[in-house]
Chains A and B, each alone.
Chain A
Amino acid sequence: MSVGQQRAETAPSSPAVPPESHARSWKGPGWGFVAKLLLMMLVNAVGVAAILSAYNVGSWVILGVLVVLLGVADWIYFAKRTIALKYLFPGLLFLATFQMFTLAYTGYVAFTNYGTGHLGSMQQAVDAALIQDEQRAQDSPTYPLSVVRDGDLLGFAVNDEGVVRVGTAEEPLAPVSGAVVDDSGAATEVPGWEIVPRAQLFSDQSLQQEVVSLRVPVSDDATDGSIRTREGTTGAIYTSTLEWDPDAQTITDTETGTVYAPNDRGNFVSPDGERLAAGWYVNVGFENFVRAFTDANYAEPLLKVTLWTFAFAILTVLTSFGLGLLFAMIYNDPRVRGRKVLRTVFILPYAFPAFMSALLWRGMLNAEFGVVNEWFFLGADINWLGDPWLAKFAILWVNLWLSYPYWFLVTTGALQSLPGDTLEAARVDGAGRWRTFRSIVLPLLMVSTAPLAIASFAFNFNNFTIIYMLTGGGPAFSGTSVPIGSTDILISAIYQISGVSGGRADYGLASALSIIVFIVIGIVSAIAFRQTRKLEEI
């Protein structure tokens, strides 16, 4: 696209030179260059906007990455020698953003205890502990209050039953004379102090934060508490007993003398094991990975779930492949009339969103009101979704309904591309229908469809949608101490036991378990791909 403009500018028009090849004879920076320039301007505009907003929120890592990426993009598209990269760069960028980053981040989370109670940083946990500890003194009245200042020094002026008292963070409240108050009781004029107007408070974020965090001691005795305001017009006496010591990294209860020190789980705990509510997330090493295997409560249910996951994925692929192929062969026969219309009808289930179909089937399989029992089983009370085995069957059935059209499409295409002469040769050699199918059609089909079958297996191994929408994993295992059920596959079981479904979410555990599932699928797929190579040796 950007072959040198310099050459073009100096291109001589001497008649002695033989005509250059078409590719090199263009003049000036043509339309292609203009288009590129416009596109790159757009890219740079978006890039610079992103960099500026990253700067504004102070995300330095993102800012650095953006600057590098934008620089690299400009270099690639305006340099001469980077032809290959010009094609690869966008793809690489998306690969890095949507694949590598997600993978790496999941890996990172798997080694932490990120989850309920461990969401933020240690400093945030300290803030939370202090917030949760500070209580309004029980007998504290609500004082009309004004924010006052003297230069940079902020203070509060409170109206204590007609007496205006002023204090700062350092100086306890002391009465001043000559103050003027308005109807609400708040001071409007205090000698020696400037009243900070409300409007200014509202518009200045850093001033707001200063005011909200300002505590004016009531007296020299710290246990009397201090005045605090939340909205800037009223104040009340608050007391707190916890104190943060940034040097020692501990929180001390000034009332009881208990010292809460950080532990390796990301909590503040006292020597006798008492824990402050808020925690932060820390690295926990391989604990999340080990937990799933060592917890005796999980061992048996997880084994059952794993077996069912394999059974579900394999049976789904086999049944839907079989049914799809059967229909494909039937509707590939030239004797069938209206093949095109019929084929379209057969593909319909594929056109509905899977979760909608699953919900529909859930209604149809309802034991009491569903049409399946009513129409096909004479109103019998068959609890399709409530019995462990029937529920497994229902899942397989609905998934078959959802996925056979895919195989119908794929195998129809593959059947139509089978070499006609091979089939004819088989017929000439006296092979019957069954023999032709078994020895010619199927092996040739497998060459092109086996990799798709492996992909389909991997997809169904993690087919969360159908399980979640049809049975929700139920019916629950009876007698076990984990909240999972007979139709849970690994990925939905992970969703349940890591608490991500509601309650105490443990994203670290969820990430670790998903990585294990990822590895399992990876191994199974690798082995299967190896096997399919043999199919090609026909």
Chain B
Amino acid sequence: MRKHMTLGVVVASALLLAACGGDPEPAETAETSPGAAGDGAGTELVVWSDAERAEAIANAAEGFEADTGATVTVVQKNFEDLRADFLAQVPTGEGPDITVGAHDWLGEFVESGVVDTIDLADRAADFEQVTLDALTYEGQLYALPYAQEAVGLIQNVDLVGSEAPATWDELIEMATDAGFEDRPFVLYTNGAEGDMYTSYAFQTSFGAPVFVQDEAGSYTSEVGLGGEGGLAYAEWISENGREGTGYFTDTIDYDIGNELFATGETPFIVQGPWTIPTYQDAGVEVAVNPIPAAGGETAAPFVGVQGFYLSSQSSNALLANEFLANYLATDEAQQALYDADPRIPALTAVAESVADDPVIAGFLASAQNGVPMPNIPEMGAVWDFWNPAQIALINGEDPESVWTTMVENIESTIGG
């Protein structure tokens, strides 16, 4: 009798479950009358996104859902979690069909075999070339670009006017004339951890790119940090560090830097477009310009590109490609993404239409001087040594030995 009872419990719960609609078999498959608008019932496209863009993607998906009958589920995650989660989950088959991501994740994605190539066909010509280059790895395009960003020189118009300084010396002069000889400029260093991403433009103005670029502009794995240019840059940091002019310190974290600029303690800062609302909310009138050169060459900041990656294990590849190529790549979708989260659009036409905003125009001008941040996986090792070296230089250690050791360490880590 007890056996029967056990069985009864199982059956009853199964019935209960069925009644609750937990039946996971697809209700019906492919019975379509030709010509009827889409009937993708049951097919679901999963898109991972961070909070800022989730809504814009969902909006772009509405038309797609209506046309194809498929459902698009936008899953929100922290931007930084997207990378690790995508890497971990795609091979298990649990990953999304599409994810938003930054272009410097690409090398790792390709080595781990988690991304599929995409083909923009004739539409490619409508994108800014730098965004396509950034998302290209060994000749193949791996993501649909939608935004680019670069840091620029932000200045307080009320304190120093809106005219751009052409060189570092000119910048210091402008600030000094305005009465800011103690703190003419704020260099963001992420506190005592160092941040070469923000400072990279100054380094390139000394002719020391992180990796040597070949004639076509793509990176080789030859480290370009060493040599005279690199050393000149190291000396320049040191001269402006703790033992020198004291302009650079290892005390500026993200909030302190923004606070100093927003409260008018300093007229110049190098930061990205994401900080602008902070300043404007504090009532600062800002002007954005390309970063002035400290050495003899053009100051080229890193350009970061954001795009939509397609999973190599997607079981809805056709649907996902349709969504990317014919819905997300449209001017309207890109405009909506810009409205949701203002970054410089990757489509030239959209970028031009939003460039009547002087702030965006300033960042665009800065980005046009820039070079894409390398997307090879070795970049992780570079940051590990590069950032601490910046701090060591600011704190007055010998430029030559610090910089030489750093280059050796990077080379041996990459080589080994």
A and B bind? yes
Known: A74-B6, A278-B113, A485-B388. 10 other contacts (CB 8 A): A44-B9, A116-B108, A117-B108, A117-B111, A208-B319, A236-B119, A366-B253, A369-B251, A475-B392, A483-B385
Q: Which of B51-59, B208-216, B291-299, B309-317 contacts A (4 or more CB under 8 A)?
A: B309-317
* B37 CB-CB contact with A under 8 Å: yes
**Binary contact readout A203-241 vs B (1 if CB under 8 angstroms, 0 otherwise):** 111011101100000000000000001111110100000
8 Å CB contact of B312 from A44, A127, A135: A127
- Complex Cα distance, B2 from A78, in Å, reads 7
* A102 CB-CB contact with B under 8 Å: no
8 Å CB contact of B317 from A134, A208, A479: A208
- Complex Cα distance, B253 from A471, in Å, reads 12
* B402 CB-CB contact with A under 8 Å: yes
Quote the shortest CB–CB distance from A437 to chain B (angstroms): 42
Contacting residues, chain B, for A232 (C-beta < 8 A)? 318, 322
Known: A202-B70, A208-B316. A367 touches B251 (CB 8 A): yes
Quote the shortest CB–CB distance from B362 to chain A (angstroms): 28
User: CB distance B91 to A120 under 8 Å?
Assistant: yes
Chain A: interface secondary structure?
mixed
Known: A6-B1, A230-B321. A203 touches B30 (CB 8 A): yes
In the complex, which residue of chain B has the Cβ closest to the Cβ of A29?
B5
Residue pairs across A and B with CB atoms within 8 Å: the count is 242
User: CB distance A78 to B68 under 8 Å?
Assistant: no
Residue of A198, A479, A499 with most partner-chain B CB within 10 A = A198
Contacting residues, chain B, for A230 (C-beta < 8 A)? 118-119, 317-318, 321, 325
User: CB distance A119 to B17 under 8 Å?
Assistant: no
Contacting residues, chain A, for B119 (C-beta < 8 A)? 136, 230, 236
User: CB distance A209 to B317 under 8 Å?
Assistant: yes
* B87 CB-CB contact with A under 8 Å: yes
Contacting residues, chain A, for B73 (C-beta < 8 A)? none
* B222 CB-CB contact with A under 8 Å: no
Known: A124-B313, A204-B30, A504-B380. A278 touches B110 (CB 8 A): yes
User: CB distance B40 to A199 under 8 Å?
Assistant: yes
Q: Which of B153-161, B196-204, B348-356, B404-412 contacts A (4 or more CB under 8 A)?
A: B404-412
User: CB distance A479 to B405 under 8 Å?
Assistant: yes
**Binary contact readout A114-131 vs B (1 if CB under 8 angstroms, 0 otherwise):** 001111110011011101
**B residues within 8 Å of A by Cβ?**
1-2, 5-6, 9-10, 12-14, 16-17, 22, 24, 29-30, 32, 34-43, 68-70, 84, 87-88, 90-91, 93, 108, 110-114, 116-119, 121-122, 138-140, 191-193, 249-251, 253, 256, 312-313, 315-319, 321-322, 325-326, 377-381, 383-385, 388, 391-392, 395, 397, 401-402, 405, 408-409, 412-413
- Complex Cα distance, B113 from A361, in Å, reads 42
- Complex Cα distance, B392 from A205, in Å, reads 56
Contacting residues, chain B, for A202 (C-beta < 8 A)? 38-40, 43, 68-70, 318-319, 322
- Complex Cα distance, B22 from A499, in Å, reads 42
In the complex, which residue of chain B has the Cβ closest to the Cβ of A502?
B380
Residue of B91, B391, B402 with most partner-chain A CB within 10 A = B91
User: CB distance A135 to B326 under 8 Å?
Assistant: no
User: CB distance B40 to A52 under 8 Å?
Assistant: no
Known: A78-B2, A198-B38, A203-B40. A474 touches B192 (CB 8 A): yes
In the complex, which residue of chain B has the Cβ closest to the Cβ of A477?
B388
- Complex Cα distance, B199 from A91, in Å, reads 54
Quote the shortest CB–CB distance from A211 to chain B (angstroms): 6
8 Å CB contact of B22 from A52, A503, A505: A52
Q: Which 10 A-B pairs have the closest CB atoms?
A: A503-B380, A128-B113, A120-B91, A476-B388, A483-B384, A278-B113, A202-B40, A45-B13, A368-B251, A117-B111
User: CB distance B251 to A366 under 8 Å?
Assistant: yes
**Binary contact readout A131-168 vs B (1 if CB under 8 angstroms, 0 otherwise):** 11011100000100000000000000000000000000
8 Å CB contact of B140 from A132, A203, A234, A369: A132
Quote the shortest CB–CB distance from B21 to chain A (angstroms): 11
In the complex, which residue of chain A has the Cβ closest to the Cβ of B38?
A199
User: CB distance B87 to A483 under 8 Å?
Assistant: no
User: CB distance A199 to B36 under 8 Å?
Assistant: yes
User: CB distance A142 to B122 under 8 Å?
Assistant: yes
Contacting residues, chain A, for B29 (C-beta < 8 A)? 203-204
